[in-house]
Amino acid sequence: MTEPAVQVVTDTKPTAKEQSHVSFPSALQWILSVVVIAAFVMTFIVQAFVIPSESMEDTLLIGDYLLVDKIDYANGGVWSPLLPYTKINRGDIVVFHYPVHPQQHFVKRVIGVPGDRVHLSNKQVFVNGKAVIEPYTTYRSIQPNFYRDDFPNTHYIDGNVDSHWWIQMRKLIEDGNLIVPEDYYFVLGDNRDESLDSRYWGFVPRENIVGRPLLIYWSVKRDSSETDESSTPDAKLIRLVNGFKRVFQDARWNRTLKIVR
């Protein structure tokens, strides 16, 4: 009778050739890993935005570069028990898809949440009958605007008001207050006199809200007088060189890594 074959496992060290298969990732693999991780982070966790207008001054300035948290206000679904999703509250700053042109992103402050009764009287905001203390607001216009300053107002209209919103708004006024519908938010800019916001185009749907600004990671002063639109190669090169110079010359270092509130 023959003995069954037995496989003997020896505790020997791997040869040099075998050892070569257990190594650190190559530079290309590291780069690909970083790209994949960065793509995941920028797709699901944070996103970068730049402020193009003065509507949120002095909280956010033109040329502020923001990192926006896309997780905090996300609709949790099956992940709700695991991730700390936050309810959107009055006073929160939010980034959202502009309801009129959803491909654009806007940033404003939430003033009214679903069910709230909102009105402005001589620029003072009232929510559910109580005056709101707003230390973050800026008022720069000395010219009265009865639609803007005493809202909602059906006796006056502003040329910037969206026609669809004008019709809808009139159906949502009760005792001089605008009623915020379920799953919608009323938002205003901190630069109250120079902001096209919910007074002009309506509510922000819940599904339009992208996230909340976390911090200003970079800030650069912008000179509106630079209007050279020449497309010649020389002009493009000059603008590129000037752009690199301005990165440091016009940087607002005191705003770098500033938490947004």
* Strand, coil or helix: 178: strand
Q: Is there a contact between 97 and 91 (Cβ–Cβ < 8 Å)?
A: no
Q: Is 216 exposed, middle or buried (0-12, 13-18, 19+ CB in 10 A)?
A: buried
The residue annotated as part of the active site, out of 13, 26, 55, 258, is 55
What are 76's two structure tokens?
A: 């949790």
DSSP secondary structure letters along 13-81: PPPHHHHTTS-PPPHHHHHHHHHHHHHHIIIIIEEEEE--SSTTTTTS-TTEEEEEESSTT---GGGTT
* 55 classed as catalytic: yes
* 108 classed as catalytic: yes
- CB neighbourhood size of 20 (10 A): 9
d(CA 53, CA 94): 15
**Cα angle, residue 243 at apex, residues 239 and 246 outer, rounded to 5°:** 135
The residue annotated as part of the active site, out of 33, 53, 108, 121, is 108
Provide CB contacts within 8 A for 258, sequence distance 6+: 215, 216, 219
d(CA 6, CA 229): 81
Provide CB contacts within 8 A for 200, sequence distance 6+: 158, 160, 161, 162, 165
d(CA 102, CA 92): 21
Q: So which residues are the catalytic ones? A: 55, 108
